[in-house]
Structure 1
Amino acid sequence: MLSRTPSRAAAAAKLAPAGQRHGLARVLSKAGVCSRTEAARRVLDGRVSVDGRVVRDPEFPVVAGRQKVLLDGLPLTAPRRLYLALNKPRGLLTTVQDEHGRDTVYQCFEGAGLPWMAPVGRLDKASEGLLFFSNDPEWAARLTEPSTGPLKTYRVQVDAVPDAALLERMHAGIEDEGEHLAAHSVQLLRHGERTAWLEVVLDEGRNRHIRRLLKALGLEVLRLMRVAIGPVPLGELGKGQWRELSEAELNALQVASKVPHATERD
């Protein structure tokens, strides 16, 4: 059972399962204090010591439970594990920092006083909707595992009205840049004379999966919104707003992330 407020013993175990050997940057990342990239930067800056000696090698091997790791002179402590849902607006990048200074999803959390949080999966700049964040790397890894991660549901507006044959081709899939892109399921929700709204469900999410799939089939995406991840819907969450996932939602996601996907193609 997933818990948002782990016991002291559980937090310590998550920090460093005894006897396991990991690179120093990974140890910091698994503790939930920062991302792996930021952890490597802190190690290189000389801010981390192992058994009283400053170590500047991010891959320096550390045996969990046997060595004392300090960051800025303080022992690693696991922050409270957080699991957040954000309604990502269009125009924001899913990254911590952008080299060109463009706006990122992290501006939605400004002033909240949150610990380091990482996005669980991605939505591209032009896409919007439900996006999870967490400081629990193991939980995030389970949700993003292609074979068992939860299904993801999207509402997609396209620049034409696809017929049944085209919808079936979306389900059957296409080959693009050496990858098989397909929809787990797809249905026509409504349409006008020139545009239509589709519901597209993915069982795995490759880079720009839906946009590439539809482009290969001659359709242009006008709007793309993720409305559910597994059993968790976007609901009435406002643009740029976020909330903590409930205990019931965490438990439902745990179940959804253990069941292998069954598709009509199998």
Structure 2
Amino acid sequence: MLSKQGVCSRSEAARWILAGRVRVDGRVVRDPEFPIVQGRQRIGVDDDAVVAAERIWLMLNKPRGLLTTASDERGRDTVYRCLDDAGLPWLAPVGRLDKASEGLLLFSNDPVWAAGITDPATGPDKTYHVQIDRLADAALLARLVAGVVSGGTTLSAKSVKVLRQGEKNAWLEIVLDEGRNRQIRRLLAAFDIQVLRLVRVAIGDLELGGLAKGQWRRLTAAEAASLAPLPS
């Protein structure tokens, strides 16, 4: 319930509960799976009543080299470096971009909305601009859409087109309608193609646009609702 109200992550809520910091109707609860009926029970943390946080949705232009995680045991930089000193409440990444990838990354404290974004069946398409280490022809584009089985999983693109080509490499626009882990890199690697750069430029109708690298902005409720239904 704490995570659903945008107060903290599920893992953080579990730690608070196990530490005896959470009360339900005045009684300490130490079971993270304790059933709660929303609106019928009083929840407190450290003797303070829990108030649902303002729902926030924001987009970040993720720079290359940052991990999409709240903290790293090896002390490497994470995407939260871009949000430092912003006065924001707890926010979680919505989906991921790997360390070497860059571009549009969403954050929110609205887990229901986030689940709608990441749902492989109903979530919005994701659009990427990808620089590869070779030229691309129609046959290659067709193979990427047809897909390949890798590790027991079928990897494919919804659509692929050439944006521009040089003498030795090409930029492709690749659209995915599901987001498996490192899907584009694994798909291209299956055809012995190296990714030189990978930039997510859009999620659904929301485009990265002119947002500077490392910068972020809040989404309007209308923009958020265009990607996934907002809880009532």
Normalised TM-score (structure 2): 0.95
Does residue 49 in structure 1 map to residue 37 in structure 2? no
Q: Which of 1 and 2 has higher RCO (CA within 8 Å, sep 6+)?
A: 2
Query: Which residue of the partner structure matches residue 80 of structure 1?
Result: 54
Matched AA of 2:87: G
Runs of 4+ aligned structure 1 residues displaced above 4 Å come to none
| Equivalences for residues 234-245 of structure 1 within 5 A | 234-245=208-219
Q: Aligned pairs, how many?
A: 230
**Equivalent residue for 2:65, pick from 69, 80, 91:** 91
Query: Which residue of the partner structure matches residue 190 of structure 1?
Result: 164
Equivalent residues of 2:57, 2:108 under 8 A apart: yes
Does residue 146 in structure 1 map to residue 123 in structure 2? no
The 1:251–1:67 alpha-carbon spacing in structure 2 relative to 1, beyond 3 Å, is closer
Query: Partners of 2:67 and 2:228 in 1: how far apart?
Result: 27
Does residue 227 in structure 1 map to residue 209 in structure 2? no
Query: Which residue of the partner structure matches residue 144 of structure 2?
Result: 170
SS at match of 1:190: strand
Query: Partners of 1:213 and 1:245 in 2: how far apart?
Result: 31
SS at match of 1:30: coil
Query: Partners of 2:72 and 2:23 in 1: how far apart?
Result: 29
In the TM superposition, what is the alpha-carbon distance from 1:163 to its structure 2 partner?
1.6
Query: Which residue of the partner structure matches residue 126 of structure 1?
Result: 100
Query: Partners of 1:208 and 1:67 in 2: how far apart?
Result: 42
Query: Which residue of the partner structure matches residue 246 of structure 1?
Result: 220
In the TM superposition, what is the alpha-carbon distance from 1:106 to its structure 2 partner?
0.5
In the TM superposition, what is the alpha-carbon distance from 1:253 to its structure 2 partner?
2.1
Normalised TM-score (structure 1): 0.83
Does residue 157 in structure 1 map to residue 131 in structure 2? yes
In the TM superposition, what is the alpha-carbon distance from 1:251 to its structure 2 partner?
3.5
Matched AA of 1:250: A
In the TM superposition, what is the alpha-carbon distance from 1:246 to its structure 2 partner?
2.5
Higher percent of residues as helix: 1
Query: Partners of 1:50 and 1:237 in 2: how far apart?
Result: 43
SS at match of 2:53: coil
Does residue 64 in structure 1 map to residue 32 in structure 2? no
In the TM superposition, what is the alpha-carbon distance from 1:119 to its structure 2 partner?
0.7
Query: Partners of 2:156 and 2:214 in 1: how far apart?
Result: 29
Q: For 1:194-247, what per-residue CA distance to the aligned partner results, in whole angstroms no more than 9, with x for missing partners?
A: 111000000001000000000001100010000000001000101110001124
SS at match of 2:104: strand
Query: Partners of 2:24 and 2:54 in 1: how far apart?
Result: 24
Matched AA of 2:130: V
Query: Which residue of the partner structure matches residue 182 of structure 2?
Result: 208
SS at match of 1:37: helix
Query: Partners of 1:46 and 1:134 in 2: how far apart?
Result: 27
SS at match of 2:82: helix
